Amino acid sequence: MTDLPEAQRRTPAGKLRARGAGIPFDGEPGAWNAITDVPGVEVGYCTLIEGDGPLVVGTGPIRTGVTAILPLGLARGASAVWAGVSSLNGYGEMTAFPWVDEAGRCEGPITLTNTHSVGVARDATIKWLVARPTARDRDDAQFWLPVAAETYDGELNDINGHHVRDEHVIRAIESARGGRIEEGSVGGGTGMRCYQFKAGSGTASRALDIAGERYHVGAFVQANFGRRYMCTVAGIPLGRHFPPPEEQRATQETGSIIVIVATDAPLLPHQLRRVARRPALAMARSGGVSAHYSGDLFLAFTTRNAEAVQEARRVTRLDYLPDQLLTPIFEATIQATDEAIVNSFVGTAAMRGKDDHLIEAFPVERAREILRHHGRLVF
Protein backbone atom coordinates (compact mmCIF):
# COMPACT_ATOMS: atom_id res chain seq x y z
CA MET A 1 0.00 0.00 0.00
CA THR A 2 3.02 2.30 0.16
CA ASP A 3 2.75 2.62 -3.64
CA LEU A 4 -0.56 4.47 -3.35
CA PRO A 5 -0.99 7.29 -5.88
CA GLU A 6 0.14 10.62 -4.48
CA ALA A 7 -3.38 12.02 -4.80
CA GLN A 8 -4.60 9.41 -2.32
CA ARG A 9 -1.69 9.91 0.07
CA ARG A 10 -1.53 13.71 0.29
CA THR A 11 -3.46 16.83 -0.70
CA PRO A 12 -2.07 19.27 -3.31
CA ALA A 13 -0.47 21.27 -0.46
CA GLY A 14 1.21 18.14 0.92
CA LYS A 15 -1.13 17.49 3.87
CA LEU A 16 -1.32 13.86 4.90
CA ARG A 17 -4.52 12.02 4.06
CA ALA A 18 -5.92 9.04 5.95
CA ARG A 19 -4.72 6.47 3.41
CA GLY A 20 -1.29 8.09 3.47
CA ALA A 21 -1.21 7.39 7.21
CA GLY A 22 -1.94 3.71 6.56
CA ILE A 23 -5.53 3.81 7.82
CA PRO A 24 -7.63 1.08 6.13
CA PHE A 25 -10.97 1.71 4.43
CA ASP A 26 -13.33 -0.54 2.51
CA GLY A 27 -14.16 0.03 -1.13
CA GLU A 28 -12.28 1.23 -4.20
CA PRO A 29 -11.52 4.95 -4.28
CA GLY A 30 -11.62 6.99 -7.45
CA ALA A 31 -8.46 8.45 -8.97
CA TRP A 32 -8.50 11.56 -6.77
CA ASN A 33 -10.38 9.95 -3.86
CA ALA A 34 -12.50 13.10 -3.87
CA ILE A 35 -15.96 14.31 -4.78
CA THR A 36 -14.38 15.56 -8.01
CA ASP A 37 -14.06 11.93 -9.16
CA VAL A 38 -17.69 12.35 -10.20
CA PRO A 39 -17.23 13.73 -13.73
CA GLY A 40 -18.14 17.39 -13.97
CA VAL A 41 -18.07 18.21 -10.26
CA GLU A 42 -15.79 21.11 -9.33
CA VAL A 43 -14.85 22.60 -5.94
CA GLY A 44 -13.54 26.05 -5.04
CA TYR A 45 -12.40 27.70 -1.82
CA CYS A 46 -11.93 31.14 -0.35
CA THR A 47 -9.98 31.00 2.93
CA LEU A 48 -9.84 33.93 5.36
CA ILE A 49 -7.16 33.84 8.08
CA GLU A 50 -6.12 37.10 9.71
CA GLY A 51 -5.05 38.40 13.11
CA ASP A 52 -4.19 36.86 16.47
CA GLY A 53 -4.83 37.41 20.16
CA PRO A 54 -7.85 38.84 22.01
CA LEU A 55 -11.20 38.96 20.26
CA VAL A 56 -12.23 42.37 18.91
CA VAL A 57 -15.63 41.98 17.29
CA GLY A 58 -15.53 43.31 13.76
CA THR A 59 -11.73 43.12 13.61
CA GLY A 60 -10.76 39.55 14.43
CA PRO A 61 -9.06 37.19 14.74
CA ILE A 62 -10.56 35.81 11.53
CA ARG A 63 -10.59 32.05 10.86
CA THR A 64 -13.32 31.40 8.32
CA GLY A 65 -14.11 31.13 4.61
CA VAL A 66 -16.38 29.76 1.89
CA THR A 67 -16.47 26.47 -0.01
CA ALA A 68 -18.30 26.22 -3.35
CA ILE A 69 -19.34 22.91 -4.91
CA LEU A 70 -20.52 23.16 -8.51
CA PRO A 71 -22.34 19.96 -9.54
CA LEU A 72 -21.84 20.50 -13.28
CA GLY A 73 -18.72 22.65 -13.08
CA LEU A 74 -18.14 26.37 -13.52
CA ALA A 75 -19.04 26.39 -17.22
CA ARG A 76 -22.54 25.11 -16.35
CA GLY A 77 -22.71 26.75 -12.96
CA ALA A 78 -26.28 27.99 -13.33
CA SER A 79 -27.70 24.58 -14.25
CA ALA A 80 -29.83 22.34 -12.04
CA VAL A 81 -29.36 18.70 -11.06
CA TRP A 82 -31.64 16.10 -9.50
CA ALA A 83 -31.17 16.05 -5.73
CA GLY A 84 -32.47 14.87 -2.38
CA VAL A 85 -31.96 16.04 1.21
CA SER A 86 -32.08 14.62 4.71
CA SER A 87 -31.83 16.02 8.24
CA LEU A 88 -30.48 13.85 11.05
CA ASN A 89 -30.68 16.73 13.54
CA GLY A 90 -31.96 20.11 12.52
CA TYR A 91 -30.08 22.62 14.68
CA GLY A 92 -28.47 24.12 11.59
CA GLU A 93 -29.18 25.81 8.30
CA MET A 94 -29.28 24.62 4.72
CA THR A 95 -31.14 27.09 2.54
CA ALA A 96 -33.53 25.75 -0.11
CA PHE A 97 -33.92 22.53 1.89
CA PRO A 98 -37.75 22.57 1.56
CA TRP A 99 -37.55 23.25 -2.18
CA VAL A 100 -35.00 20.50 -2.86
CA ASP A 101 -37.19 18.12 -0.86
CA GLU A 102 -40.31 19.26 -2.71
CA ALA A 103 -39.01 19.44 -6.28
CA GLY A 104 -36.13 16.98 -6.17
CA ARG A 105 -33.71 19.43 -7.75
CA CYS A 106 -30.83 21.67 -6.72
CA GLU A 107 -29.93 24.80 -8.69
CA GLY A 108 -26.58 26.49 -9.08
CA PRO A 109 -23.52 26.38 -6.81
CA ILE A 110 -23.73 24.83 -3.34
CA THR A 111 -21.88 26.95 -0.77
CA LEU A 112 -20.66 26.09 2.73
CA THR A 113 -19.55 28.65 5.30
CA ASN A 114 -19.94 29.64 8.97
CA THR A 115 -23.26 29.95 10.79
CA HIS A 116 -23.56 33.74 10.65
CA SER A 117 -22.48 34.00 7.01
CA VAL A 118 -24.91 31.55 5.44
CA GLY A 119 -27.23 34.38 4.40
CA VAL A 120 -24.40 36.23 2.70
CA ALA A 121 -23.38 33.04 0.88
CA ARG A 122 -26.92 32.49 -0.36
CA ASP A 123 -27.45 36.09 -1.47
CA ALA A 124 -24.06 36.41 -3.16
CA THR A 125 -24.70 33.17 -5.04
CA ILE A 126 -27.98 34.60 -6.31
CA LYS A 127 -26.17 37.75 -7.51
CA TRP A 128 -23.63 35.58 -9.31
CA LEU A 129 -26.39 33.48 -10.90
CA VAL A 130 -28.43 36.45 -12.06
CA ALA A 131 -25.35 37.87 -13.78
CA ARG A 132 -24.69 34.64 -15.72
CA PRO A 133 -25.66 35.01 -19.40
CA THR A 134 -26.83 31.38 -19.61
CA ALA A 135 -29.15 31.90 -16.66
CA ARG A 136 -31.23 34.37 -18.63
CA ASP A 137 -32.54 31.56 -20.83
CA ARG A 138 -34.59 30.16 -17.93
CA ASP A 139 -38.32 30.76 -17.79
CA ASP A 140 -37.93 31.89 -14.17
CA ALA A 141 -34.50 33.51 -14.48
CA GLN A 142 -35.32 36.18 -11.91
CA PHE A 143 -36.00 33.64 -9.18
CA TRP A 144 -33.35 31.49 -7.50
CA LEU A 145 -33.20 29.28 -4.40
CA PRO A 146 -29.56 28.13 -4.13
CA VAL A 147 -28.27 25.88 -1.38
CA ALA A 148 -26.03 27.45 1.27
CA ALA A 149 -25.17 25.54 4.45
CA GLU A 150 -23.19 26.18 7.61
CA THR A 151 -21.39 24.95 10.68
CA TYR A 152 -20.23 27.04 13.65
CA ASP A 153 -16.62 28.30 13.79
CA GLY A 154 -17.03 30.68 16.73
CA GLU A 155 -14.46 28.88 18.90
CA LEU A 156 -11.68 30.24 16.69
CA ASN A 157 -13.29 32.91 14.54
CA ASP A 158 -14.78 36.35 15.14
CA ILE A 159 -18.08 34.96 13.91
CA ASN A 160 -20.05 38.06 14.93
CA GLY A 161 -17.69 40.24 12.93
CA HIS A 162 -19.36 39.06 9.69
CA HIS A 163 -16.13 38.95 7.73
CA VAL A 164 -17.45 36.87 4.82
CA ARG A 165 -18.58 39.22 2.05
CA ASP A 166 -20.02 38.85 -1.44
CA GLU A 167 -16.61 38.93 -3.08
CA HIS A 168 -15.40 35.99 -0.98
CA VAL A 169 -18.37 33.87 -2.03
CA ILE A 170 -17.86 34.74 -5.68
CA ARG A 171 -14.12 34.05 -5.36
CA ALA A 172 -14.89 30.56 -4.05
CA ILE A 173 -17.34 29.90 -6.89
CA GLU A 174 -15.07 31.17 -9.63
CA SER A 175 -12.04 29.28 -8.31
CA ALA A 176 -13.87 25.95 -8.66
CA ARG A 177 -11.80 23.24 -10.32
CA GLY A 178 -11.83 19.49 -10.77
CA GLY A 179 -9.09 17.01 -9.85
CA ARG A 180 -7.25 17.08 -6.52
CA ILE A 181 -8.65 19.39 -3.86
CA GLU A 182 -7.45 20.60 -0.47
CA GLU A 183 -8.71 19.42 2.91
CA GLY A 184 -8.71 20.61 6.50
CA SER A 185 -8.50 24.33 7.30
CA VAL A 186 -9.65 25.67 3.94
CA GLY A 187 -12.80 27.39 2.72
CA GLY A 188 -15.82 26.98 4.95
CA GLY A 189 -13.89 24.46 7.02
CA THR A 190 -11.19 26.93 8.07
CA GLY A 191 -12.34 27.43 11.66
CA MET A 192 -13.88 24.01 12.33
CA ARG A 193 -12.96 21.08 14.55
CA CYS A 194 -14.00 17.43 14.74
CA TYR A 195 -13.78 15.32 17.90
CA GLN A 196 -12.00 18.33 19.43
CA PHE A 197 -9.17 17.98 16.90
CA LYS A 198 -8.56 20.64 14.25
CA ALA A 199 -10.57 19.64 11.20
CA GLY A 200 -12.79 21.20 8.56
CA SER A 201 -13.13 20.19 4.91
CA GLY A 202 -12.75 16.55 3.89
CA THR A 203 -13.54 14.44 0.84
CA ALA A 204 -13.36 10.89 -0.51
CA SER A 205 -14.90 8.80 -3.28
CA ARG A 206 -15.73 5.29 -4.42
CA ALA A 207 -15.78 3.72 -7.88
CA LEU A 208 -18.11 0.79 -8.39
CA ASP A 209 -19.69 -1.38 -11.07
CA ILE A 210 -23.44 -1.97 -11.21
CA ALA A 211 -25.15 -4.00 -13.95
CA GLY A 212 -22.11 -3.67 -16.20
CA GLU A 213 -21.77 0.10 -15.82
CA ARG A 214 -19.05 2.04 -13.99
CA TYR A 215 -20.22 4.69 -11.53
CA HIS A 216 -18.70 7.01 -8.94
CA VAL A 217 -19.90 8.25 -5.56
CA GLY A 218 -18.12 11.18 -3.93
CA ALA A 219 -18.60 12.76 -0.52
CA PHE A 220 -17.59 16.19 0.76
CA VAL A 221 -17.91 17.03 4.44
CA GLN A 222 -17.62 20.17 6.51
CA ALA A 223 -16.98 18.44 9.83
CA ASN A 224 -17.47 20.25 13.12
CA PHE A 225 -18.83 17.75 15.65
CA GLY A 226 -18.00 15.26 18.39
CA ARG A 227 -16.31 15.01 21.77
CA ARG A 228 -12.81 13.56 21.91
CA TYR A 229 -13.74 10.24 23.55
CA MET A 230 -16.20 9.48 20.72
CA CYS A 231 -13.60 9.49 17.92
CA THR A 232 -13.48 6.10 16.20
CA VAL A 233 -11.11 5.35 13.31
CA ALA A 234 -11.02 2.01 11.49
CA GLY A 235 -13.27 0.60 14.21
CA ILE A 236 -10.89 1.55 17.04
CA PRO A 237 -11.97 4.14 19.69
CA LEU A 238 -8.84 6.24 19.28
CA GLY A 239 -10.25 9.31 21.01
CA ARG A 240 -10.18 7.59 24.40
CA HIS A 241 -6.38 7.55 24.18
CA PHE A 242 -6.14 11.32 23.68
CA PRO A 243 -7.98 13.28 26.39
CA PRO A 244 -8.56 16.91 25.47
CA PRO A 245 -6.96 19.81 27.36
CA GLU A 246 -8.42 20.38 30.83
CA GLU A 247 -10.29 23.53 29.82
CA GLN A 248 -12.11 21.63 27.05
CA ARG A 249 -13.12 18.52 28.99
CA ALA A 250 -16.42 19.92 30.23
CA THR A 251 -17.37 21.28 26.80
CA GLN A 252 -20.89 20.32 25.76
CA GLU A 253 -21.22 18.78 22.32
CA THR A 254 -22.64 21.55 20.11
CA GLY A 255 -21.09 20.77 16.73
CA SER A 256 -22.50 19.91 13.34
CA ILE A 257 -21.70 18.33 10.00
CA ILE A 258 -22.73 19.12 6.46
CA VAL A 259 -22.34 16.31 3.92
CA ILE A 260 -22.70 16.72 0.16
CA VAL A 261 -22.85 13.45 -1.80
CA ALA A 262 -22.41 13.40 -5.58
CA THR A 263 -22.82 10.56 -8.05
CA ASP A 264 -22.95 9.97 -11.78
CA ALA A 265 -25.35 7.06 -11.33
CA PRO A 266 -28.76 7.80 -12.89
CA LEU A 267 -30.88 8.22 -9.78
CA LEU A 268 -34.32 9.75 -9.37
CA PRO A 269 -35.14 12.29 -6.63
CA HIS A 270 -36.79 9.74 -4.35
CA GLN A 271 -33.66 7.58 -4.65
CA LEU A 272 -31.41 10.55 -3.89
CA ARG A 273 -33.41 11.24 -0.73
CA ARG A 274 -32.59 7.68 0.31
CA VAL A 275 -28.90 8.21 -0.48
CA ALA A 276 -28.97 11.45 1.54
CA ARG A 277 -29.95 9.49 4.65
CA ARG A 278 -26.86 7.26 4.52
CA PRO A 279 -24.21 9.79 5.70
CA ALA A 280 -25.84 9.46 9.14
CA LEU A 281 -24.51 5.89 9.29
CA ALA A 282 -21.01 7.11 8.41
CA MET A 283 -21.20 9.77 11.09
CA ALA A 284 -22.11 7.06 13.61
CA ARG A 285 -19.32 4.82 12.33
CA SER A 286 -16.79 7.52 13.21
CA GLY A 287 -18.35 7.97 16.66
CA GLY A 288 -20.85 10.80 16.17
CA VAL A 289 -24.14 10.77 18.10
CA SER A 290 -25.94 13.75 16.50
CA ALA A 291 -26.27 15.76 19.69
CA HIS A 292 -29.17 18.02 20.66
CA TYR A 293 -27.36 21.13 19.40
CA SER A 294 -26.11 19.44 16.22
CA GLY A 295 -26.98 20.60 12.73
CA ASP A 296 -26.46 17.40 10.73
CA LEU A 297 -27.78 18.08 7.24
CA PHE A 298 -27.13 16.05 4.11
CA LEU A 299 -27.69 16.57 0.39
CA ALA A 300 -27.18 14.09 -2.46
CA PHE A 301 -27.25 14.91 -6.18
CA THR A 302 -26.60 13.19 -9.47
CA THR A 303 -24.95 14.69 -12.51
CA ARG A 304 -26.85 12.32 -14.81
CA ASN A 305 -29.99 13.28 -16.71
CA ALA A 306 -29.12 16.96 -16.33
CA GLU A 307 -30.75 17.76 -19.66
CA ALA A 308 -34.05 16.39 -18.36
CA VAL A 309 -33.84 18.68 -15.33
CA GLN A 310 -33.58 21.72 -17.58
CA GLU A 311 -36.50 20.72 -19.86
CA ALA A 312 -39.61 22.77 -19.11
CA ARG A 313 -41.75 22.71 -22.26
CA ARG A 314 -42.26 19.13 -23.39
CA VAL A 315 -42.39 15.53 -22.29
CA THR A 316 -38.88 14.22 -21.84
CA ARG A 317 -37.20 10.92 -21.06
CA LEU A 318 -34.42 9.85 -18.75
CA ASP A 319 -32.73 6.69 -17.56
CA TYR A 320 -32.53 5.49 -13.97
CA LEU A 321 -31.14 2.74 -11.82
CA PRO A 322 -33.82 0.36 -10.47
CA ASP A 323 -34.36 0.52 -6.73
CA GLN A 324 -33.24 -3.08 -6.41
CA LEU A 325 -29.72 -2.04 -7.48
CA LEU A 326 -29.30 0.82 -5.00
CA THR A 327 -27.57 -1.03 -2.15
CA PRO A 328 -24.03 -0.65 -3.60
CA ILE A 329 -24.67 3.10 -3.90
CA PHE A 330 -25.71 3.21 -0.24
CA GLU A 331 -22.59 1.29 0.77
CA ALA A 332 -20.31 3.53 -1.28
CA THR A 333 -21.92 6.63 0.26
CA ILE A 334 -21.24 5.38 3.79
CA GLN A 335 -17.67 4.36 2.97
CA ALA A 336 -16.81 7.65 1.23
CA THR A 337 -18.40 9.79 3.94
CA ASP A 338 -16.60 7.93 6.73
CA GLU A 339 -13.26 8.40 4.99
CA ALA A 340 -14.02 12.06 4.22
CA ILE A 341 -14.63 12.70 7.92
CA VAL A 342 -11.26 11.18 8.84
CA ASN A 343 -9.57 13.07 6.00
CA SER A 344 -10.97 16.30 7.43
CA PHE A 345 -8.74 16.01 10.51
CA VAL A 346 -5.99 13.42 10.05
CA GLY A 347 -3.47 15.75 8.39
CA THR A 348 -4.77 19.12 9.58
CA ALA A 349 -2.39 21.29 11.61
CA ALA A 350 -3.30 22.77 14.99
CA MET A 351 -4.79 26.25 14.87
CA ARG A 352 -4.86 29.11 17.37
CA GLY A 353 -7.68 31.63 17.02
CA LYS A 354 -9.63 34.17 19.01
CA ASP A 355 -8.43 34.81 22.56
CA ASP A 356 -5.49 32.48 21.79
CA HIS A 357 -7.82 29.48 21.89
CA LEU A 358 -5.98 26.44 20.53
CA ILE A 359 -7.50 23.45 18.73
CA GLU A 360 -4.99 20.61 18.72
CA ALA A 361 -3.92 18.54 15.73
CA PHE A 362 -4.76 14.86 15.48
CA PRO A 363 -1.72 12.89 16.81
CA VAL A 364 -1.04 10.82 13.69
CA GLU A 365 2.02 8.85 14.83
CA ARG A 366 0.53 7.86 18.17
CA ALA A 367 -2.70 6.88 16.40
CA ARG A 368 -0.68 4.70 14.03
CA GLU A 369 0.89 2.89 16.98
CA ILE A 370 -2.54 2.12 18.45
CA LEU A 371 -3.96 0.98 15.14
CA ARG A 372 -0.94 -1.23 14.56
CA HIS A 373 -1.41 -2.79 17.99
CA HIS A 374 -4.97 -3.70 16.98
CA GLY A 375 -3.95 -5.01 13.57
CA ARG A 376 -5.74 -2.14 11.86
CA LEU A 377 -2.84 -0.47 10.03
CA VAL A 378 -2.14 -1.12 6.35
CA PHE A 379 1.58 -0.30 6.49
Residues annotated catalytic, as ranges: 256, 294, 296
> Residue 312's pLDDT is what?
81
Q: What type of residue sits at position 287? A: G
What pLDDT digit, counting tens, does each position of 229-254 carry?
999 999 999 999 999 887 777 666 66
Question: In the predicted model, what is the mean pLDDT of the chain?
Answer: 95
Contact 303, 318 (CB under 8 A): no
Q: Are 260 and 69 in contact (CB under 8 A)?
A: yes
pLDDT of residue 244: 86
88 φ/ψ angles, rounded to the nearest 5 degrees = -85, -40
Domains of the chain, by residue range, sit at 24-308+316-362
Cα→Cα distances 294→17, 98, 255, 350, 366, Å: 26, 19, 5, 23, 29
pLDDT single digits (tens) 334-371: 999 999 999 999 999 999 999 999 999 999 999 999 99
Q: Which CATH number does the domain 24-308+316-362 belong to among 3.40.50.10140, 3.30.1300.30, 2.40.10.10, 3.60.70.12? A: 3.60.70.12
pLDDT of residue 287: 96
Higher pLDDT, 133 or 251: 133
> Which residues partner with 69 through β-bridges?
43, 110
What's the pLDDT score for residue 247? Answer: 72
Which residues are CB-contacts of 32 (< 8 A; sequence separation ≥ 6)? 7, 8, 179, 180, 181, 205
161-197: pLDDT as tens digits: 999 999 999 999 999 999 999 999 999 999 999 999 9
Please say if the pLDDT value at position 151 is more than 70.
yes
CA separation for the pair 355, 334 (Å, rounded) = 37
301, 261 Cβ separation under 8 angstroms: yes
The pTM assigned to this predicted structure is: 0.96
Q: How far is it, in rounded angstroms, from Cα 73 to Cα 39?
A: 9
157: pLDDT confidence band, cut at 50, 70 and 90? very high
pLDDT of residue 133: 77
Torsion angle, CA of 323/262/278/271, rounded to 10 degrees?
-30
Strand partners, 86: 298
Report percent pLDDT > 90 for the chain: 91
Residue 332: closest CA among 181, 217, 160, 163: 217
The reported pLDDT for the residue numbered 255 is 84
Residues in contact with 372: Cβ distance below 8 Å, sequence separation at least 6, in sequence order: none
Segment 13-67, tens digit of pLDDT:
999 999 999 999 999 999 999 999 999 999 999 999 999 999 999 999 999 999 9
Q: How many CA atoms lie within 13 A of 168 on its CB side?
A: 24
Query: What pLDDT, on a 0 to 100 scale, did the predictor assign at position 175?
Result: 98
pLDDT for 248: 76
Q: pLDDT-based confidence at 140, cuts 50/70/90? A: low
3-state secondary structure at position 36: helix
For residue 351, give every residue at least 6 positions away whose Cβ sits within 8 Å of its Cβ, in sequence order, or none: 63, 156, 185, 191, 198, 358, 359
Backbone angles phi, psi at 81, to 5 degrees: -135, 155
Tell me what pLDDT residue 245 has. 84
Give the Cα separation of 262 and 38 in Å (integer): 7
Strand partners, 219: 204, 261
Q: 212: exposed, middle or buried (C-beta count within 10 Å: 0-12, 13-18, 19+)? A: exposed
d(CA 23, CA 309): 39
- Residue 302 is which amino acid? T
Strand pairing category for 295-302 and 256-263: parallel
The secondary structure of 130-154 as a DSSP string is HT-GGGGGSTTTT-----EEEE--T
pLDDT tens, position by position, 68-121: 999 999 999 999 999 999 999 999 999 999 999 999 999 999 999 999 999 999
Instruction: Find the radius of gyration of the CA atoms of the chain.
Output: 20
